[in-house]
Chains A and B, each alone.
Chain A
Amino acid sequence: GAVVSQHPSWVICKSGTSVKIECRSLDFQATTMFWYRQFPKQSLMLMATSNEGSKATYEQGVEKDKFLINHASLTLSTLTVTSAHPEDSSFYICSASQRSPGGDTQYFGPGTRLTVL
């Protein structure tokens, strides 16, 4: 199956700093990538949909100025958590959509665990 990587796997930072997370589709081109957030004991919540070469579409309640998304190429999308605070500590997961005759399939990256002190 298709492979999606994320970097870093985990990060610990001080409050007020910015953290950049990369999501790469390694063996396919993804026109669309998705960013999710998962808090402990909760399910994945979609944060934003990212299309290559255009602005991301954010879900209601997600601040676009705080969570900056850049989708510069068909294999790379980045999420930057600006001025991170402890309440931003979460598991951030990206997925990349691969087109196939039967429809699009989303493949998930391994996630990035962010802890803000």
Chain B
Amino acid sequence: RKEVEQDPGPFNVPEGATVAFNCTYSNSASQSFFWYRQDCRKEPKLLMSVYSSGNEDGRFTAQLNRASQYISLLIRDSKLSDSATYLCVVNNAGNMLTFGGGTRLMVKP
């Protein structure tokens, strides 16, 4: 079983749609959680950290359920520029990041 699992997609959605990505992690001792965005042939960029209380940044909402070891990302009012691969990332001990396989999003006009 992979340490961080994501549905690879692709998710094809129209502009303005709401889309949700899920992620599960296997290490119950994981300490912090992130969503990164990666554009084609570019490096990953931090989108947002994920907190147990849930957090929102504009059109993006992230949730963490430690009991279920489950992380989600919700994107509202999708824009064409949101098209990218979204990486679920877990930080275990020692500041080691473990990346999920990524979920590809394509927003169409």
Contacts and interface: CB of A to CB of B under 8 A. Distances in A.
Interface stretch (B12-20, B53-61, B64-72, B96-104): B96-104
A34 B87 contact: no
Interface string A101-117: 00111101111010000
B47 interface: no
Interface residues of B, number: 17
User: Which among B87, B94, B96 has the greatest number of chain A C-beta atoms within 10 A?
Assistant: B96
A43 B87 contact: yes
A105 B100 CA distance: 18
Given A103-B32, A113-B41, A43 B101 contact: yes
Contacts of B81: none
A46 B100 contact: no
Given A42-B101, A43-B87, A93 B43 contact: yes
B41 A44 contact: no
Give the interface SS of chain A, mostly helix, strand, loop or mixed: strand
Contacts of A45: 99
Interface in B84-102: 87, 94-102
Nearest to A109: B43
A32 B43 contact: no
B46 interface: yes
B108 interface: no
Interface in B25-46: 32, 41-46
B41 A46 contact: no
Contacts of A103: 32
B67 to A, nearest CB: 22
Interface of B: 32, 41-46, 87, 94-102
